[in-house]
Amino acid sequence: MRAPADAAADRPWTESRPWRVVANRQETADTVTLDLEPPESFGYLPGQFNMVGRPGVGEVPVSVSGDAEAAGHVVQHTIRAVGEVTRMLCAAEPGDAVTVRGPYGTHWPVREAEGGDLVVVAGGIGLPPLRPAVRAALAHRDRFGRIVLLYGARTPADLLFPAELDEWRSRFDVTVEVTVDTAGRDWGGKVGVVPDLIGGAPFDPARTTAFTVGPEIMMRFTVQALLTAGVPADRVFVSMERNMQCATALCGHCQFGPFLICRDGPVLSYRPLARWLGIREL
């Protein structure tokens, strides 16, 4: 599987097809990563999503969480069990079939960020959609200045990919800071909200591109902290989550102001979103 910049994004599979479950890895108490094998070559770009489902149950949008440049035939999706469809997907076993169509949506502008610093801010289940972008940047480390990953979760037990976080931190050419909202006495890390990490992070705002995903309230505070630090609004990108059902801009369920998230997003520059993100409950 390989996804160069001009591949896959313009040629989504618009009809669901069965993909084989190769592995199901438990990440946290309510989150798993499924390794899925497509029936033929499949390419995608960091930040894009697929519509993934179980026959007879339904389908949901899930960002691809694996390495878009890695060779092979396995596509990873990290899923939290929050409803009937996602619970059924999380229960899928190796050998089972799930339905997939995609990829859909816009992607993280990783190549456009080359030549400057890259700041990635994730909250909770927001790390999986950002993971392919982090991997893509690290695969071409010499093309970037500083790379900073700031990640927050509710508790230490809710942290995703802890071994990979340790691996990235051990490289010494990446700044990785992790915080949790609450923790017991056995937690030796930081406690607090992830936007508070931005002020102490080492990056040059004038030459920084920032990506962020997480709960909407967290992204509002993250964007404000980035703007306060001096990052230009048109260099801040967020990934929006809405009720995407058709993924082809036909049903209108994912409308957010003037945007249809399945078509215009999920990755969008903050500048055109600013007016609408300021309206709570939109």
Query: 219 and 130 in one domain?
Result: yes
* Residues 99 and 139 both lie in one domain: no
Q: Domain of 59: which CATH number?
A: 2.40.30.10
Does 222 share its domain with 131? Answer: yes
Amino acid in position 133: A
pLDDT for 71 equals 46
Sign of the torsion formed by the C-alpha atoms of 264, 265, 269 and 273: positive
Are 197 and 124 contained in the same domain? yes
- Domain for residue 259, yes or no? no
Mean per-residue pLDDT, 26-45: 94
When pLDDT is cut at 50, 70 and 90, the band that residue 5 belongs to is: very low
Domain boundary among 104, 122, 137: 104
Domain count for the chain = 2
Q: Is 73 exposed, middle or buried (0-12, 13-18, 19+ CB in 10 A)?
A: middle
Same domain for 210 and 122? yes
Residue 227: predicted pLDDT = 97
Distance separating alpha carbons of residues 211 and 219, to the nearest angstrom: 10
Domain with 58 in it: 13-104
- pLDDT for position 282: 54
Instruction: Tell me, yes or no, if the pTM score tops 0.85.
Output: yes
Rounded to an integer, the average pLDDT of 119-123 is: 97
Q: What is the pLDDT of residue 260?
A: 77
The CATH number assigned to the domain holding 189 equals 3.40.50.80
Residue 248 lies in a domain: no
In-domain check, residue 21: yes
231 with 150, same domain?
yes
Task: State yes or no: pLDDT of 100 exceeds 50.
Answer: yes
Tokens representing 86?
Answer: 């996602």
In a domain, 3, yes or no: no
Are 141 and 230 part of one and the same domain? yes
Residue 281 confidence (pLDDT)? 57
Q: Could you report the per-residue pLDDT of 130-172, keeping only the tens digit for each?
A: 999 999 999 999 999 999 999 999 999 999 999 999 999 999 9
Mean pLDDT of the region 221-240: 96
Question: What pLDDT, on a 0 to 100 scale, did the predictor assign at position 255?
Answer: 82
**CB proximity list for 38: less than 8 A, separation 6 or greater:** 17, 19, 73, 75, 100
Kind of pairing between the strands at 117-123 and 208-213:
parallel
> Is 212 part of any domain?
yes
Ramachandran category for residue 47: left, alpha or beta (phi over 0 → left; psi -120 to 50 → alpha): left
254 in a domain, yes or no? Answer: no
246 falls within a domain: no
pLDDT band per the 50, 70, 90 thresholds, residue 240: confident
